[in-house]
Amino acid sequence: MPRARPPRVRFTRVSAAFRAGVLGGLLGCCLPSARAEVGRIVPDVAALARQAMLTLPPPPTWNTARTAEVWTVDDVNAEFAKITDTPPRVNFLRPSLLRPDHGQLVDFKGWFRSLEKPLKIRFVDQLWDCDNYASCFVAFADLLAMKAGDVRGSFCIGWATVNYRNRFAGVRAGTAHAVVVVGTSKGLFIIEPQDGTMVALRDFPNRHTIEEVNF
């Protein structure tokens, strides 16, 4: 699956119809297919009526009884400051974030990868590319926690824009790229959602050129 892209990241919105389909899949319902148009995904109602139901692999159990450490945004900024030469700007909607158990996050990452085949997720330049992969990963994590009834807070899972000075997980140097940033019980990690590569932030070769993180 191609993952390299031009040096400019173009961020697009995922339609309400697609988000509804994602939620339906997590809740055990069907996920309808959609007809892609330039720059957006638009449902084809007539085609949807003819589609068979699609069953997704069951998501991993999200154990709300496990202890989860709460991080403030200041904690996140401090962690970036310890590991990177130029800490990125951190955007957030909530003042505190839950760091999930590391094992649970690894299980979730594997499940997300298992969705690619049944959902026919593939790289399409400027339509479904790196930022879409990363934001989809975050959305699925939030929906899984909601389905589990976890009310302790928002998970420390976000997506970041990075200038790649070094090749990583098949993405060439000299490009702008989007990846997933997660805070787990073992610290901050970077995930390439297109192939599942996961490394500690301190081992990410482009950690010093992360521009912005969105939680």
| Cβ atoms of residues 39 and 127 within 8 Å | yes
pLDDT at residue 8, as a whole number: 38
Q: Does position 107 have pLDDT exceeding 80, yes or no?
A: yes
In the chain, the amino acid numbered 53 is M
Structural domains of the chain ordered from first start = 16-214 (3.30.460.70)
Average pLDDT for 21-47: 44
Inter-CA distances, 62 with 105, 110, 177, Å: 9, 14, 29
Residue 183: its H or E element: strand 175-184
Pairing state of beta strands 157-164 and 175-184?
Answer: antiparallel
CA distances from 194 to 19, 35, 112, 172 (A): 19, 22, 10, 14
Looking at per-residue confidence, does 10 or 47 come out higher? 47
User: pLDDT grade, residue 55 (50/70/90)?
Assistant: confident
- Tell me the sheet residues that pair with 72: 96
